Structure 1
């Protein structure tokens, strides 16, 4: 009897402990946040639930709660969303790059003065710019804007032994046998404000200027100028004989007669011999706004110009296959 009583007491204690354990587990059971029924608490405990604010406790076997959209039709932000939103959009990346200006009528820059040419007869190179920039027109000197690479290219290529400031542009003809002019006279802030027709109108006056001063090489500073002039001088040839535009030495020349050469004042000058023909050259625009050619690219082409000039002076540059043009 005593043994049966002890077994019953042990069984009762086990049931009591099991009930208390079940009550304790009920505190940690998962409850639907939308369920308005209060959580079940232990009847024999006055202690608050151990779950802390902001802590999600998930019962074993239950699925973790999903992120639900805050507004209908929108999904929650993911890590990829954050990375995409933080990276600059194409429009933001291009925001700092100003668009090219369109055509500007002559009245817009009528307050600016034209530039004077810096020329003498029988120069080694006559540089032909596009037109005076706004800064150049304001101070009266060629390639005057601080971002223009012309003077730097002259020096780094060896065409001048030192870097010449724009304010000394007028000294180039006598000091270094280099000259300056433009295909279009009127100034603008950007070359994109000119029409192609203005380039074409400037071709005949420019070629007449070349024939008058007879430089060894006339060099266009700007792809647009070189291409338009090439199309003009080759227009009378059959299409099969026309050549496409390339930078560097151009496939045409002006040839002078012996009588023209003999009457030249330059033939009496000890600094230069009589020049019987003028070759044409093209390099990119030296404007800092030109993105396709950086300073090393431009310097390389200016250096090649100097090399070809030396070959021409030494009689090592053949021009027999060049097309002869008239002014």
Structure 2
């Protein structure tokens, strides 16, 4: 079910931790019923309105977005994965990224950022969550009100197909005031490519971000509005990097990953 990253040039590769039972069955990434991944992409302007998760296999051609997982094994819950299983998957994952040389990799889970950081021995302290609690963030009644919403939401039909729609008043909400800046979600390491290895359309280096999981079952510390905002901010960072803006992240002191020293 994994996108063949070797075939394409990407702006961003999004990486989940492993396929859910739903994704394992339909061969589509982030397709669990409560997963807000595609809604966040739409809100951030990374995909166009009307795009459904069923079109994910065409994301490389349409949007220069890649979708993959750290661990390929399908499970009912991420808790079924062992720590060593996740860590052993890091070298192969990084080699896959080297082959397609995207500008950004975005881990759709803070835990993946921690796993990769430990595997390459580059410490990273994940940002403090804006709230605590066990309530699911997809409960609209718990969301703070928001005056306006620039992007659409996604509607899940009885057939499982999510389509773009205008957000209802219940879904309008503001991000948490104490939501950390996007720079806090930027990991302190990168992949760097030699001029000889950089092919046309690919980046000279790849940066890594780790954002909160978009799965309602696995995340309780971020409002949906927080996740949407972080995807918006990620898109803004991508634009700054593409433009070579002086406001783009300064990565001069970042650790450069040497994948030849990593063992599975």
Which residue number corresponds to residue 166 of structure 1? 53
Shift of 1:163: 4.7
The reply to whether residue 301 of structure 1 matches residue 230 of structure 2 is yes
Indicate the RMSD between aligned Cα atoms, in angstroms.
1.5
Which residue number corresponds to residue 61 of structure 1? none
The reply to whether residue 244 of structure 1 matches residue 173 of structure 2 is no
The CA distance in 1 between the partners of 2:252 and 2:4, in whole Å, is 30
Q: Name the one with the larger strand percent.
A: 2
Structure with larger RCO (C-alpha < 8 A, sep 6+) = 2
Q: Name the one with the larger helix percent.
A: 1
Please give the TM-score of this superposition, normalised by the length of structure 1.
Answer: 0.58
Q: Could you tell me which of 217, 225, 244 is aligned with 2:112?
A: 225
Give matches, 1:83-98, under 5 Å: none
Contact 1:221 1:286 in 2 (8 A): yes
Q: Could you tell me which of 97, 106, 117 is aligned with 1:210?
A: 97
Shift of 1:122: 2.6
| Structure of larger gyration radius | 1
Give matches, 1:215-294, under 5 Å: 215-234=102-121, 242-246=123-127, 248-261=185-198, 264=199, 267=200, 273-289=201-217, 290-294=219-223
Deviations 1:30-84 (A, max 9, x none): xxxxxxxxxxxxxxxxxxxxxxxxxxxxxxxxxxxxxxxxxxxxxxxxxxxxxxx
Contact 1:123 1:179 in 2 (8 A): yes
Which sections of structure 1, spanning at least 5 residues, go unmatched? Answer: 1-114, 236-241, 268-272
Size of the alignment, in residue pairs?
A: 198
The CA distance in 2 between the partners of 1:189 and 1:243, in whole Å, is 28
The CA distance in 1 between the partners of 2:236 and 2:30, in whole Å, is 23
Q: Could you tell me which of 82, 98, 120 is aligned with 1:195?
A: 82
Q: Stretches of 4+ moved more than 4 A in 1? A: none
SS at match of 1:258: coil
Give matches, 1:69-88, under 5 Å: none
The reply to whether residue 311 of structure 1 matches residue 233 of structure 2 is no
The CA distance in 2 between the partners of 1:243 and 1:228, in whole Å, is 10
Give matches, 1:54-203, under 5 Å: 115-117=1-3, 119=5, 120-203=7-90
Which residue number corresponds to residue 321 of structure 1? 253
Which residue number corresponds to residue 179 of structure 2? none
Contact 1:230 1:245 in 2 (8 A): no
Which sections of structure 2, spanning at least 5 residues, go unmatched? Answer: 128-183, 260-264
